[in-house]
Amino acid sequence: MSDKTTLVNLTNHTYFNLTGNLKADILKHVLTMKSDEFLEIGMDMLPTGKVVSVENTPFDFCKGRSILDGVYSEHQQNLLVGKGYDHPFILNTNQQQEIVLRDEKSGRVLTVETDESCVVLYTGNKLGSAYQVRGVQSKDYLGLCLETQGPPDSIHHPYFSSAILKQGEAYKTTTKYTFTTLNDNEEYFRKKADES
């Protein structure tokens, strides 16, 4: 609850790596997202205001896609952010398993459900090696973030959903992270394969 009108667009910048104890990077992780559009990023790494269809691009995660695809991509948006992803995706649905990340080798699955309209996918393109994470030397692509939120920089794009919280209004949002294994999700993934 704010005592003055202000901007609010909170998120969670947790890094995920489903390999277990950082055995490998996240490049072979497979991400499925219910998203038909992403926001174009400019040289300042902020949305330009242009909403882009994911169709026939490395940004189409609707049927599942390896993170590696974005690293090898020659798409200008992938190159701009350092070979990978650092982009807001507009979610088609809410609280309906709209984001599923899986690592086939470990069998681990992360499902993200949110009431937010957007998720920023960051694939650790610029993590570098200047420090250690739990005894493992950091490197690019060691983890990825799924930052649920409203569209970034919406104050400069009036047709984006607003991040203005008026005086006396309450701000509340919910994002749920569920960890399972592929065995627990066999029916879900079988259904996805049948749809494709």
Expressed in angstroms, the distance from the first to the final Cα of the chain is 44
The single-letter code of the amino acid at 89 is F
Residue 13 is a catalytic residue: yes
147 among known catalytic residues: yes
3-state DSSP of 44-75: CCCEEEEEEECCCCCCCCCCCEECHHHHHCCC
Query: Of 98, 113, 116, 147, which one is the catalytic site residue?
Result: 147
Distance CA 75, CA 114 (A): 28
State the catalytic residue, choosing from 13, 74, 187, 195. 13
Write the DSSP symbol of residue 165: E
Q: What is d(CA 164, CA 46) in angstroms, rounded to the nearest whole number? A: 18
Q: How far apart are CA 33 and CA 92, in angstroms?
A: 9
* Dist. CA 94–CA 28, nearest whole Å: 26
CA separation for the pair 62, 30 (Å, rounded): 11
Give 69: exposed, middle or buried? Use CB within 10 Å, 0-12, 13-18, 19+. buried
Name the residues annotated as catalytic: 13, 147
